[in-house]
Every structure is written in structure tokens, then in C-alpha cells.
Structure 1
Amino acid sequence: MSGHGAPTTDPVDCGDLRVAVVAASWHTEVMDGLLAGTQRALADFSVPHAEIVRVPGTFELPVVASALAATGYDAVVALGVVVRGGTPHFDFVCNAATDGLTRVALDHTVAVGFGVLTCDTDEQAFDRAGLDGSKEDKGYEATSAALLTARTLKAVRRG
């Protein structure tokens, strides 16, 4: 978790983009931090409204992200957290979420912000959640990436 090499990008006006956020419900405090980071990014990028949808867990993110993308959103931000336990469950959920969200982006040609924390410990999750004292704000970063990618896709489509 270095954060080293992260791009520095000034926010641009993305007020014309339709944005949806799909967020898992597990790990309430971490998810509240990720959602707050997303809200900060939306404000900084002048997005007046985003549809926010909650799902039970990280595994459910791709199917709902796909449904949102199919309705014409320019960007879908997916937020979740999976903390390693003592079983292979961590690997299965992380792989399913990553592969599923990648499919959403490619199948729908829509920007998908990947705000899924895959952590070994709760402490790592808190450190990346954008909470007071966190070193990173992955909700903000995922939203910023989705908005900038959606802006790029619009430009590509215009030629």
C-alpha cells in the first residue's frame, strides 16, 4: 500500500455525466468512508447528482453495476471491501469482483471505477477508506478515475 506513483489530476467539470455508484454493505465504517470519498469527488468534479445503490456484499457489485451500465450511465463506481480470513473465500470474492467489474466495463464500454479494497487486515482497510487518519482515500480515487475515463470515452466517441 504505497500510493507511490499516483497521478495528480485536477478535477474537471463532469456535470454532464450520468453517474451511478454501487456500494456493498459489509464493513459499515469502511464503506461509509469510501462513500464519503466518492461524494467529495463528485462535488469536486461538479457532478450534481449520482444514483447510489446498495448491495449486500462485494460479490454482488458486478451484476448491479452491469444493470446500471445497461441503462446508459456514463460512469459506474463500484465500492466494496474484502478482508482476508482463514479460508479461500477471500480469493474467490476478490477474483469474482475484479473479473466481473472488468466485464462490465468492456461489455458496456462504460467507465467503471474500481473502489474495491482487498486487504489482509481491518487496519489496512481503515487506512485506505478515506476516514480521519487514513493514508489513502480510495473512494475518491475510484470516482475520479471513473469520471476522467468517462470524459475520455465521450471524447473518443465524438472523434
Structure 2
Amino acid sequence: MSGEGAPELRVENVGDLRVAVVAALWHQTVMDGLVAGARRALEEAEVRDALVLRVPGSFELPVAAARLARAGYDAVVALGVVVRGETPHFDYVCQAATDGLTRVTVDTGVPVGFGVLTCDDEEQALARAGLPGSKEDKGYEATQAALATVVALRDSYA
């Protein structure tokens, strides 16, 4: 299972952060679970200033994340799902989303939580979406990772 060995993150004293969640619209059931997980992580961390922005698909996540990072958000969480099909489209979208989001975080210095599921089938996506019966909650995990990175960076410069 991909969640094996994951760190247990504790995120505290982040109520003052501005956090944006940018989420794709494709695969609505899976995406609803990912967004709910992100919202739950933000609520638990007592983040008061959070924006959820929906974009058409995972390919559009980097441009939205870049705009939000440059708009002064302390962290951005990118959520999407790409399910393998019969053409190379899967590979291109996965690579573009990954490279684009990496570039956003490195170029801006704003942590980006990577919650883009890249799955062979719908069953794998549902297992990671944080829905009842899911094995993992990648929306929650990506949000916690982004918040924990902000804290680590902030505390290292205190």
C-alpha cells in the first residue's frame, strides 16, 4: 500500500495562514472526497482563511497554483485525479501536472501539497479519495504536508 511508512504529521499554530486549495473537476466522486479531506485538515488546523478554487482538470492545476502562490497564499494544495486510459494522454497529463506543480513550489517558495492521484483505474482512485471505505485520504494528507512544510520553513527562520 502506498501509505505505508507515512510520517505522522502534527500541525499546530497555523490559524493565521492563508491557504488555497485548487481542485480539478474531473471524476467528481473522487474529487469530492479529496476536497472534503482537505477541508477537514484545514478545519483541524484551525485555518481561518482558506479558498477552494475549482479548475477543469489536473492539467490546469499548475497555472492556478502559480497564480495563487503569487497572490500571497502561504500554501497551496493541488488536488486532482488522472485515470489511465487507452492512449498516452495519461502520461502527458501526469507529467505536466507533476512538473508544473514542482516548478510552482520551487519558483515561488510557496509550499504546494501534491494531492494528484495517478491511478490505473477508478477503483484505485476511490481507495485513495478519503471516502467511506477508502484506505487512504490523499486530500487530507496533501493538506497536512503543505501546512507542515510552511511550519518547518517558518520555524527555521524564526
TM-score by length of 2: 0.97
Tell me the secondary structure at the aligned position of residue 126 of structure 2.
helix
Please tell me whether the aligned partners of residues 25 and 31 of structure 2 are also in contact (alpha carbons under 8 angstroms).
yes
- Give the corresponding residue for 1:45: 45
Cα separation, 2, equivalents of 1:43 and 1:5: 25
- Give the corresponding residue for 1:75: 75
**Runs of 4+ displaced beyond 4 Å:** none
Please tell me whether the aligned partners of residues 17 and 49 of structure 2 are also in contact (alpha carbons under 8 angstroms).
no
Per-residue deviation at 1:44?
Answer: 1.0
- Give the corresponding residue for 1:133: 133
- Give the corresponding residue for 1:152: 152
Report the CA distance shift for 1:11/1:156 in structure 2 as closer, same or farther (over 3 A).
closer
- In structure 2, runs of 5+ residues without a counterpart are none
Which letter maps to 1:70? R
**Which stretch of the first structure deviates more once superposed, 112-121 or 7-16?**
7-16
- In structure 1, runs of 5+ residues without a counterpart are none
Tell me the secondary structure at the aligned position of residue 77 of structure 2.
strand
Task: Describe the superposition over 1:25-47 as per-residue Cα deviations: whole angstroms up to 9, x where unpaired.
Answer: 00000000000000110011111
TM-score by length of 1: 0.96
Per-residue deviation at 1:16?
Answer: 1.3
Cα separation, 2, equivalents of 1:61 and 1:9: 25
- Give the corresponding residue for 2:114: 114
Per-residue deviation at 1:11?
Answer: 3.3
Tell me the secondary structure at the aligned position of residue 3 of structure 1.
coil
When the two structures are aligned, how many residues end up with a matched partner? Answer: 158
- Give the corresponding residue for 1:105: 105
Per-residue deviation at 1:156?
Answer: 3.1
- Give the corresponding residue for 2:124: 124
Identity, % of aligned positions: 67
Cα separation, 2, equivalents of 1:129 and 1:140: 9
- Give the corresponding residue for 2:89: 89
